[in-house]
Structure 1
Amino acid sequence: MVISALFTRGVFCLHCLVAFWTIFSTSPWHPLYCLLLSGLVGLVFETVVTIHVRKGAEYKWFCPSVFFYLLSIVPCVWILELDMLQLRVQAKDELEQQGINFTSKLMKQPGNLTLFNGVTVPLVMEPAQWVVMVEQLVLFVLILGRWMLPKGDISRDELSQLLLVYIGMAADIIEFFEAFKEERVKYNWMLIVSILSIWSASLLQFTLVLTATKSVKSRAGFAPHPDENEGMCKSCCGCCGNEVFGIVTTMVLQDGPFLILRLLLLIEYDVNSYMHIFFTVKNTLVLLLMFYRLFVVFEYKSMTDKDSDHPKPDDAEDYLELSATESPAKFGNYGSNAEANQE
């Protein structure tokens, strides 16, 4: 457990260091860049608390290590994307002024990134490709980190559900950056900031364990025991509450803002590429399905509450049969009267 906790936090720190390397190699130095280390300091402090106080055990509903990792990596992505925006705008202005073919400054920069003299990254890629790699690795590191972290109070079943949910969210979030390739978007400072803001808010979902609840289901072909029915009803209320919270969180932090921005780009900025229209329809469908799921959950809960207030006739008959079996003397007169009537 302790080894897994240390390994995962080491991966978080390594990715943050790669992001710092990319910033220092492609951007001029700024004193405020020192604040980027605050997230790593918090991650180190959280690691010490988790190892020495909690003995490597993780929390059930919140992942502080993921929060401090995002606190470090998200500002790095903002800096890299805003720097790329500045270079694109400069290249476009020079192209408009000169009126000739102009090679972007992004292509003129050296292919490998250098932090100090003599120390280079062995991979040969353009700085823009390094930025894309840093952005996309965020989601992979989050999913891998949640998988490798000690489970804490959640079970393996809950962890597997959580990882599948993360995979679905990550695919949509990664595609959200494809809007930067649109001509009407990649030179617009307001749209770039809006996309980065929504992207940053969507990552907060990974700090929450929204599926930390067990769903009780009966096996097909077998009727559940009455005691199991009672336990199922008790756990259903908590399960529904957790499910509703998870659905609302996803709608507020991801699919809702994603759909609003996509509609804005489609209507106001005439961004009508095939992929953009496809994912606009996809976000609309997902939101409709979430509203439908909320309706089903609340309807089921209301029916469960009504059933708990009024016992079913079958339950009353079972109760009479059980009472007759346990104390047949109570029904002696009833039995004799029934026989007399038959005679």
Structure 2
Amino acid sequence: MELLVLLNALATRLLFALHSLLGVWRVTKVMEEPKYWLLALLNLPLCIETVLTLKFKQGRGYKWFSPAIFIYLISIVPSLWLLELHFGSQACHNESDMRPFTPKYEPAYQSKAIDGPIIGTAIEFVNTISAVCESVWMLGLHQTFLLLLIIGRWLLPIGGEITRDQLSQLLLMFVGTAADILEFTSETMEIENVRTNRAVVYAILAVWTWSMLQFPLDLAVQHVGCGRPGSSKRVFSLLLCRYSADLWNIGISLFIQDGPFLVVRLILMGYFQVINQMLVFFTAKNILIVMLQLYRLIVLSLDFHASLRNRPNSRKGGVGCCPCEPNTISLPPSNCDTDERERPSVALEDSSSVTVEGL
């Protein structure tokens, strides 16, 4: 079992490194400058993290945070930024740009001695994918990037703090999140007026990068450990203790994903006068999600305040509000306040003497 954990940890990080190197290779191909190969040095932190994880954690993950996914984001996001900023006017004008790869084998006497059929096929394949238009390359890199985030989080060995049920919930959330992020980048970047405005491109890429920071975190399915409740505990700490996962989901939607996406789309529609059917639809979807998250926050707040109001009453009933009653009997506060004040206190000696005299 431990061998399988080590293999999963190594294989996942190897996939991250290979995809990052693919992005760096594409940058050097587009820019036509070898200096961009220096971006490959961003994979060194991933190598260091791999060694430390294998040595101290036996390949397993950490609580609430995944360093491997975070370093993978650091290594691949700069390449995607450069490709988006250098995006030219090349487009897929005909079906020849999207034709499938068909290897061509040359006769043995025409090839060099060091070139075998496998090497020749590999060279032909590299030349074919290099000739693919920029829009296809960008969409493919974005798609594989998001898919690797989900598959990598699935393959990474889980730590002792997160269960498999929580991991399945997290992966389902990542699938929906990745689809929304891909829609945001593909739908906004394809607008011609957006591509020509460098400031808008920077804003969209900044919001896109900000939305990616939710993937290394696992707080959306884990609850903060609650200590023993006491009178000195602050209200906010108690609220965070009870609804930590729900509050984190609401915070992601309002401040990391749907909220920033809504702001960008409203600016495109209001200031830049960019209006189309898909942009209006996704704007309406963001508005609906933000309203539902705010409604969810109000429901949690009302439920929390109701539990705080009921807590003193239940505590009174548990200890017995009247000192003459045992702890297991619960009396209403109204009866306890009125009957106990009006009832005369009779000593035990007086009651015994009255009984003797009567006899």
TM-score range, shorter chain: 0.7 to 0.9
Q: TM-score when scaled to structure 1?
A: 0.74
The structural deviation recorded for 1:295 is: 1.1
Name the structure 1 match of 2:107: none
Q: Is the contact between residue 223 and residue 245 of structure 2 (CA under 8 Å) also seen in structure 1? A: no
Tell me, yes or no, if structure 1 residue 6 matches structure 2 residue 3: no
AA of the residue aligned to 2:290: L
Out of 301, 308, 312, the residue aligned to residue 309 of structure 1 is: 312
Q: TM-score when scaled to structure 2?
A: 0.71
Tell me, yes or no, if structure 1 residue 159 matches structure 2 residue 167: yes
CA distance in 2, matches of 1:40, 1:323: 64
Q: Is the contact between residue 139 and residue 170 of structure 1 (CA under 8 Å) also seen in structure 2? A: yes
Name structure 2 gaps, 5 residues minimum.
99-121, 225-236, 330-359
**Misfit runs of 4+, over 6 Å:** 105-108, 312-317
CA distance in 2, matches of 1:48, 1:151: 17
- RMSD over aligned Cα atoms: 3.2
Distance 1:323 1:307, change over 3 A: closer
Out of 197, 216, 226, the residue aligned to residue 207 of structure 1 is: 216
Q: 1:79-114 CA distances to partner (integer Å, 9 max, x unpaired)?
A: 111111xx23xxxxxxxxxxxxxxx58879x969xx
CA distance in 2, matches of 1:107, 1:190: 28
Q: Percent identity?
A: 35
CA distance in 1, matches of 2:172, 2:133: 33
AA of the residue aligned to 1:208: L
The structural deviation recorded for 1:30 is: 5.6
CA distance in 2, matches of 1:201, 1:236: 26
Which protein shows a greater Rg? 2
CA distance in 1, matches of 2:52, 2:238: 33
User: Going by fraction, where is helix more abundant, 1 or 2?
Assistant: 1
The structural deviation recorded for 1:259 is: 0.5
Name the structure 2 match of 1:97: none
AA of the residue aligned to 1:139: L
Out of 67, 70, 73, the residue aligned to residue 70 of structure 1 is: 73
Q: Is the contact between residue 158 and residue 214 of structure 1 (CA under 8 Å) also seen in structure 2? A: no
CA distance in 1, matches of 2:239, 2:171: 22
Q: 1:274-327 CA distances to partner (integer Å, 9 max, x unpaired)?
A: 11000000001111111111111122122222222211899799xx99959xxx
Q: Is the contact between residue 222 and residue 244 of structure 2 (CA under 8 Å) also seen in structure 1? A: no
Name the structure 2 match of 1:58: 61
The structural deviation recorded for 1:41 is: 0.5
Name structure 1 gaps, 5 residues minimum.
89-103, 216-233, 325-343
Distance 1:125 1:210, change over 3 A: same
Q: Is the contact between residue 213 and residue 239 of structure 1 (CA under 8 Å) also seen in structure 2? A: no
AA of the residue aligned to 1:197: A
AA of the residue aligned to 2:179: A
CA distance in 1, matches of 2:169, 2:91: 45
